[in-house]
């Protein structure tokens, strides 16, 4: 594993207690950063901090709760240090149904967590980054945000909205040495596969030219570079993690 130099950096990783978020947090720690995990699952937060070890801390906070996010950010800056890295990985898939049968309440919840939550988290960290004239932000989108997944209209729409936010915010902050980028993972090899039928797993796998699912470490490797000082030019961009399923 190449070691990206993140010495002296303080990172916030939302949704960092499992899957992609946990792998990203581990890679950032291995690269020298201190990492604060933000999640709503208090029990999982405690286990994740123990598993990650020195340099990891946690805040129980909901990404749809703007005052709670503001408090968590202030606490981290006071107790750990200025936040220079944000990886926003929190998200939910929501219900699976055709649009004409989709529960409106579930639609609102999926959009609130995946899109509004992304706005809130970014809004909280950006002022400090602007004041210090430095920052690195990666918002996790999805291959669904590029091409849409049938029966996942809310998730697909929200993740497409994340891409629009990234492109807009990256341009706003380009003059502050703040890079804002997105990654678009295809299905990852996580415990979520255990909840799906073999038929649906195969349906997703055959659409990936690599012939396999994304490993969480592969996502973490890309994100680690994106949040490093070496990424000094690219911003407002989308980095593909679909194994060739999408090429734009």
Mean pLDDT of the residues in the chain: 95
pLDDT at 81 over 80: yes
Question: Mapping DSSP to helix (H, G, I), strand (E, B) and coil, where does residue 44 land?
Answer: helix
pLDDT of residue 248: 80
155: annotated active-site residue: yes
pLDDT of residue 204: 81
pLDDT of residue 187: 86
Please compute the mean of the pLDDT values over residues 189-205 and round it to a whole number: 76
pLDDT at 197 over 80: no
DSSP string for 154-221: HHHHHHHHHHHHHHHHHHHTGGGTEEEEEEEE--BSSGGGGGS-HHHHHHHHTTSTTSSPBPHHHHHH
Instruction: Note the pTM of the prediction, 2 decimals.
Output: 0.95
pLDDT of residue 196: 65
Ordered by start, the domain boundaries in the chain are 10-235
Active-site hit among 102, 120, 155, 248:
155
For domain 10-235, which architecture applies? 3-Layer(aba) Sandwich (3.40)
Please compute the mean of the pLDDT values over residues 221-238 and round it to a whole number: 98
pLDDT of residue 133: 98
Least-confidence region, from 73-77, 128-132, 196-200? 196-200
**pLDDT 10s digits, 118-175:** 999 999 999 999 999 999 999 999 999 999 988 899 999 999 999 999 999 999 999 9
State the CB neighbour count (10 A cutoff) for residue 43.
Answer: 9
pLDDT of residue 200: 73
Confidence of residue 195 (pLDDT cuts 50, 70, 90): low
pLDDT of residue 239: 97
């Amino acid at each position: 594993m190449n070691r990206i130099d993140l010495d002296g950096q303080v990172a916030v990783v939302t949704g960092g207690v499992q899957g992609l978020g946990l792998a990203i947090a581990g890679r950032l720690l291995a690269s020298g950063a201190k990492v604060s995990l933000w999640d709503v699952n208090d029990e999982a937060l405690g286990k994740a901090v123990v598993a990650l070890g020195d340099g990891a801390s946690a805040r129980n906070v909901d990404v749809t709760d703007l005052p709670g996010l503001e408090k968590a950010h202030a606490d981290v800056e006071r107790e750990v240090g200025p936040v220079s890295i944000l990886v926003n990985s929190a998200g939910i898939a929501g219900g699976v149904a055709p649009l004409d049968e989709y529960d409106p309440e579930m639609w609102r919840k999926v959009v609130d967590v995946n899109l509004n939550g992304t706005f809130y988290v970014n809004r909280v960290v950006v002022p400090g980054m602007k004041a210090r004239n430095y920052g690195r932000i990666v918002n996790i989108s999805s291959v669904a945000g590029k091409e849409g997944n049938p029966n996942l209209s809310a998730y697909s729409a929200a993740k497409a909205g994340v891409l629009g936010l990234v492109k807009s915010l990256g341009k706003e902050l380009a003059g502050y040495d703040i890079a804002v980028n997105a990654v678009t993972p295809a299905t990852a090899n996580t415990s979520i596969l255990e909840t799906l039928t073999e038929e649906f797993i195969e349906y997703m796998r055959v659409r990936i030219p690599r012939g396999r699912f994304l490993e969480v470490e592969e996502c973490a490797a890309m994100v680690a570079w994106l949040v490093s000082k070496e990424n000094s030019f690219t911003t407002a961009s989308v980095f593909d993690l679909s194994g060739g399923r999408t090429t734009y």
